[in-house]
Amino acid sequence: MLITIAAVGRMKTGAERELLDRFLDRAGAAGRQIGLTFAVREFPESRAATPALRKAQEGAAVLDALAPALIVALDEGGKGLTSRAFADRIAAWRDGGEANIAFVIGGADGPGAPILEKARIRLAFGAMTWPHQLVRVMLTEQLYRAVTILSGHPYHRD
């Protein structure tokens, strides 16, 4: 199963990029053994005049490029999951025959209606607002953690 991190905006070089790459490499190396592969796709930010129009344009561009993936929207109003529940959800999708999962990180204004309407689940990393670069790192770390849990590595929370 291909898991894509689809993010509006570009991630520049720096400490956040290094962490993202480290967790992505680890997840990719360990994930192949359990049928998971990973990719990152970046999408341009809209220059529309209003937040609503920006979200609509960004969402349409992301959805057009990712079809027919199962969409998971990262949204501050979404559901919080434990790491174990997150891993179990990924395993259920994989075992249920899903071929492509896309975790969508919207632009500065959020994911917008096109993404939220199409999303199978809205996922939050708490009620706080996080910079997009950190959200990418946190998501990638949780994907790596899910791979280790699903691979049978001891998990200190069990």
Q: Are 104 and 73 in contact (CB under 8 A)?
A: yes
Residue-wise pLDDT tens digits, 28-55: 999 999 999 999 999 999 999 999 999 9
Residue with structure tokens 């990262």?
74
Residues with Cβ within 8 Å of 65's Cβ and at least 6 positions away in sequence, in order, are 6, 41, 43
Global pTM reads 0.93
Average pLDDT over residues 53-79: 92
Separation CA 132–CA 107 (nearest Å)? 8
